[in-house]
């Protein structure tokens, strides 16, 4: 019931169009019930008693009714769908805004394609239910009750026989509803898996081609597709049982009506052939609502299953500031880890009681073997994850005392895997500093040693970089990312293996840009190439989530320990 109330709440902003749509649907139902009554009067009175004028007027009246039906049908179809799409838009906006507020670990555990399926496919089913559901249910109810009253008025014994099928229909619907719901949910889950597989395969198409793995990808996709066919088949089996069962009831009802109607005509002079003909015409007013109700049940299950999946995401607790958190303002940049521990749900503890301090404007380097926890340290500083023990301080204050928004405003990140949006070069540099002028963007690009390259592009700063910056080289993407940080101008800089995947020329260019970027900022650098951190104020060797060694480059070489061994390998 709570789920249904939440669904109904999305009608509120569109209640005017909703009530107009329902009014139009009501008039449509009345028009459908009007036609058999006029026909009965024509047969019983106007034709038998030679009332030509009334016969013509009845024909004109029917023509007017049919024209009215055309207008009402257009209104219901067009504006009803518009209402559904607007509700879909509202839900999609709510869902997207909620996704933007979810913690990073949520996206670690959920596939992109699956989330896209919920935003697109599931919400389409919801919008169809939003439009057709109330309309079909309301129309069916009006036509069933209206035709029942009229048929009782014409000849109640036959009317009772006809409407005796309703309880049987309701029993079939109730029996199949749970099975429909279960199979519908499984079907949507498989659609999400297919979308996820597609997103993964398309994103990795270059790797697939490089390793001639097209046949493997096709085979994997075929497996998922077959699972979808199997699950969808189970859904259609349940739907078929429901549809065929209700059709059987209506067909048996027709046989009963024809047989009973014929017998009543034969034995009861008060029940005429014209009355029987009217009953036959009204049968469509009875079977049509049943068909609509069948359609409604399918739509309801699809739509409410989609809405349930929508609510699953909406129920995930978003990132939240700690009580009493304040705006950090402009931080100076002193970073301190005080006994910090952290563990991922899937892989256990990564950091164990880690303590260190980076003074304002200093350069701190993190080195060591992969998997030691260096990148995790970088993710904890902007509060992408919450430490499970200890505390992180900036300028002597626990970062939990700051709002996450204001904290992240003070931090710039350049990672090895640079993400660029499918937009222009200028908009990618401006990202996060949306009010920056073109002149400020150009100044940032010059500082990042990328201005001249951008000027030589076909459309300069207005050149679209492609999805994930696919039209640019790794070095070019990195320099655009550096320009983005220059424009942001934060006091704290995190460089997570920013030059590890570059050639020598690009490494020199980007190294110069990073040196310029680091001036006056507290900089945390993660590096595998030790030559890039020789001038760091302090180097921490991280092993298994703990500080194995610390000191300057010279101090650590003299010590002849882990760092010295790493340096020997790097030379």
Tens digit of pLDDT at every position of the chain (571 positions): 678 888 888 888 988 988 998 888 888 878 877 777 777 777 777 777 777 888 788 788 888 888 888 888 888 888 888 888 888 888 888 888 888 888 888 887 777 777 777 777 777 778 878 877 787 777 777 777 777 787 788 778 877 877 776 677 667 766 666 666 677 667 767 776 776 666 666 655 555 655 566 677 777 777 777 877 787 777 777 777 777 777 777 777 777 777 888 888 878 887 787 777 777 777 766 667 776 776 677 677 778 878 888 888 888 888 888 999 999 999 999 999 999 999 887 777 889 999 999 999 999 999 888 888 888 999 999 998 899 899 999 999 999 999 998 998 998 888 877 778 888 888 888 887 888 899 999 988 888 888 888 888 888 889 888 776 777 777 788 888 888 888 888 999 898 876 655 555 566 667 777 777 788 889 998 887 787 788 889 999 998 888 888 998 898 888 888 888 888 876 5
> Residue 325 in contact with residue 336, Cβ under 8 Å?
no
Query: What's the pLDDT score for residue 235?
Result: 75
| CA atoms within a 13 Å half-sphere pointing along the CA-CB vector of 225 | 7
> Looking at domain 335-570, does it have CATH number 3.90.330.10?
no
Signed CA dihedral, 404, 409, 412, 418: sign only:
positive
**CA 381 to CA 395: how far, in whole Å?**
13
**341 has which bridge partners?**
389
Pull the structure tokens for residue 98. 């909620």
> Residue 399 in contact with residue 545, Cβ under 8 Å?
no
Q: Which residue has the tokens 């459309």?
A: 459
Q: Which residue has the tokens 């190294």?
A: 511
> Residue 84 in contact with residue 131, Cβ under 8 Å?
yes
**CA 448 to CA 249: how far, in whole Å?**
75
- Name which of 379, 383, 397, 376 is nearest 333 in CA terms: 397
- The domain 2-314 is placed in CATH, from the list 2.30.140.10, 3.40.50.300, 1.20.1560.10, 2.40.10.220, at 1.20.1560.10
**CA 341 to CA 355: how far, in whole Å?**
9
**CA 528 to CA 367: how far, in whole Å?**
6
Pull the structure tokens for residue 5. 């109330």
Domain with CATH 1.20.1560.10 in the chain: 2-314
**CA 303 to CA 291: how far, in whole Å?**
18
**Maximal C-alpha separation, the chain:** 121
Query: What's the pLDDT score for residue 204?
Result: 59
Q: What share of the chain is helix, strand, coil (3-state, %, to 5)?
A: 65, 10, 20
**CA 377 to CA 539: how far, in whole Å?**
14
CA 278 from centre of chain:
51
């Amino acid at each position: 019931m709570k789920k249904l109330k939440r669904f109904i709440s999305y009608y509120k902003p569109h209640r005017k169009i909703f009530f107009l749509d329902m009014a139009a649907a009501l008039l449509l139902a009345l028009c459908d019930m009007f036609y058999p009554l006029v026909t009965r009067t024509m047969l019983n009175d106007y034709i038998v008693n030679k009332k030509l004028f009334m016969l013509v007027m009845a024909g004109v009246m029917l023509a007017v009714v049919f024209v009215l039906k055309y207008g009402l049908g257009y209104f219901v179809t067009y504006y009803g769908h518009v209402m559904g799409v607007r509700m879909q838009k509202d839900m999609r906006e709510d869902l997207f805004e909620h996704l933007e507020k979810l913690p990073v670990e949520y996206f670690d555990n959920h596939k992109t394609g699956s989330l896209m399926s919920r935003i697109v496919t599931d919400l389409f089913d919801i919008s169809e239910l939003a439009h057709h559901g109330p309309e079909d249910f309301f129309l069916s109810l009006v036509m069933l009750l209206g035709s029942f009253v009229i048929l009782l008025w014409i000849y109640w014994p036959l009317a009772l026989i006809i409407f005796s099928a309703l309880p049987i229909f309701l029993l079939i619907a109730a029996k199949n509803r749970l099975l429909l719901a279960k199979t519908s949910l499984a079907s949507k889950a498989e659609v999400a898996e297919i979308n996820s597989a597609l997103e993964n395969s398309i994103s990795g198409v270059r790797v697939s081609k490089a390793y001639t793995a097209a046949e493997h990808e096709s085979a994997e996709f075929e497996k998922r597709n077959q699972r979808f066919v199997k699950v969808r088949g189970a859904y259609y089996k349940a739907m078929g049982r429901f549809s065929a069962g209700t059709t059987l009831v209506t067909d048996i009802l027709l046989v009963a009506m024809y047989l009973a109607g014929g017998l009543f005509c034969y034995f009861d002079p008060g029940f005429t052939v014209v009355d029987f003909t009217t009953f036959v015409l009204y049968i469509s007013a009875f079977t049509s609502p049943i068909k609509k109700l069948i359609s409604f049940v399918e739509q309801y299950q699809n739509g409410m299953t989609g809405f349930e999946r929508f609510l699953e995401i909406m129920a995930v607790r978003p990132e939240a500031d700690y009580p009493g958190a304040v705006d950090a303002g402009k931080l100076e940049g002193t970073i301190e880890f005080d006994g910090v521990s952290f563990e991922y749900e899937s892989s256990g503890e990564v950091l164990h009681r880690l303590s260190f301090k980076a003074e304002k404007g200093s350069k701190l380097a993190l080195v060591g073997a992969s998997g030691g926890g260096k990148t995790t340290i970088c993710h904890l500083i902007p509060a992408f994850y919450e430490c499970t023990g200890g505390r992180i301080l900036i300028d002597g204050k626990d970062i939990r005392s700051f709002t996450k928004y204001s904290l992240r405003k003070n931090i710039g990140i350049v990672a090895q895997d640079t993400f660029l949006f499918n937009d222009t070069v200028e908009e990618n540099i401006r990202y996060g500093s949306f009010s920056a002028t073109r002149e400020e963007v150009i100044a940032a690009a010059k500082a990042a040693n990328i201005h001249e390259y951008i000027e030589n592009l076909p459309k300069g700063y207005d050149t679209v970089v492609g999805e994930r910056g696919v039209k640019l080289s790794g070095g070019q993407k990195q320099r655009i990312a550096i320009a983005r940080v220059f424009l942001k101008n934060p006091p704290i800089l995190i460089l997570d293996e920013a030059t590890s995947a570059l050639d020598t020329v690009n490494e020199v260019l980007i190294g110069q840009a990073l040196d310029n970027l680091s001036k006056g900022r507290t900089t945390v650098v993660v590096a595998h190439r030790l030559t890039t951190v020789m001038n760091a104020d302090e180097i921490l060797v991280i092993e298994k989530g703990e500080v194995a060694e610390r000191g300057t480059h010279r101090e650590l070489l003299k010590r002849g320990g882990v760092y010295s061994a790493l340096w020997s390998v790097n030379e």
